[in-house]
A and B are shown apart, each in its own frame.
Chain A
Amino acid sequence: MFIIFVMHKCSKMRYRKRRHRKLLSPPVIKGFIPYGKNINTENQDLVSMLCEEYEAIKLCDYDMLTHLEASALMGVSRPTFTRIYSSARQKIALAISEGRHLIIEGGKVYYDSQWFHCKDCDAFFTNPNDIVDITCALCASSNVSKVQDEESVSLK
């Protein structure tokens, strides 16, 4: 009786939707290929690393953040971040110990945008192409400032 009840419940329940991971910037390369003798790369599968796993490695081991700080940046919980990170390490280990190709692709991610505010024309705008010398997108004024707290813009 209980099993029937559970099965009935489960058939109605949807799986939990996976939260998209936030990336600060896209990966700089698409992957790595091994070099050297004695590698038979043709008949070996690729190791496919997700963009979020690349980001986890970068935040943790390149930017030297703690898991807690990095998880806040990626918009996931700390345990989830640790899971992504350990999966990334396993894939890197697999690729280098078996001499496989490593491809960085896929994953449900979105890119973090930073809003800027122009003091002359009171417009808010983003900087998607990472231009260093920022001027207002509307009036070309250089009197712009970074919006620190996104909520204050109320762009919901």
Chain B
Amino acid sequence: MKIAITSTGTTLGSTIDPRFGRAAYFVIYDIEKKSFEICPNTNKEAMEGAGPASVQFVAEKGVEKIVSGEFGVKVKDLLDSLKIQMIAIKDHSKTVQEIIDMLNQNK
């Protein structure tokens, strides 16, 4: 199962990005293979519609869960119909590595 985590930087030690649509980077983590891929968000500077464009990007990667700080209204509706699980974390000081560790313990 693949999980997308929004990240502020290019390393696993970076903190999570509280925004989904305009997140700096997406870390696509594969739980079974324990591999990850860091993708820059090309929609970061978009005037509008950054959320839906980001949804399309991560949906093409085949993720089933998204970990971020918050999700916009447009994004929420889209992800609901795509049946992608949203996980919103209020503690924005968590790093991507911490999230991955938690997800691994989960399995």
Which residues of A are interface residues toward B (Cβ below 8 A)? 20, 109-113, 121-129, 137-140, 153-156
Contacts and interface: CB of A to CB of B under 8 A. Distances in A.
Interface residues of B, number: 26
A128 B64 CA distance: 10
Interface stretch (B21-29, B54-62, B86-94): B86-94
Interface of B: 65, 67, 70-73, 76-81, 83-91, 99, 102-103, 105-106
A1 B102 CA distance: 70
Contact of A127 (B73, B79, B85): B85
Q: Which residue, of A111, A125, A129, A138, has the highest number of chain B Cβ atoms within 10 A?
A: A138
A155 B71 contact: yes
A138 B102 contact: yes
Sorted from nearest, which 9 A-B pairs have the closest CB atoms? A110-B77, A124-B88, A140-B106, A128-B83, A125-B87, A111-B80, A113-B80, A126-B86, A123-B89
B83 A156 contact: no
B80 A122 contact: no
A155 B102 contact: no
B103 A126 contact: no
Nearest to A127: B85
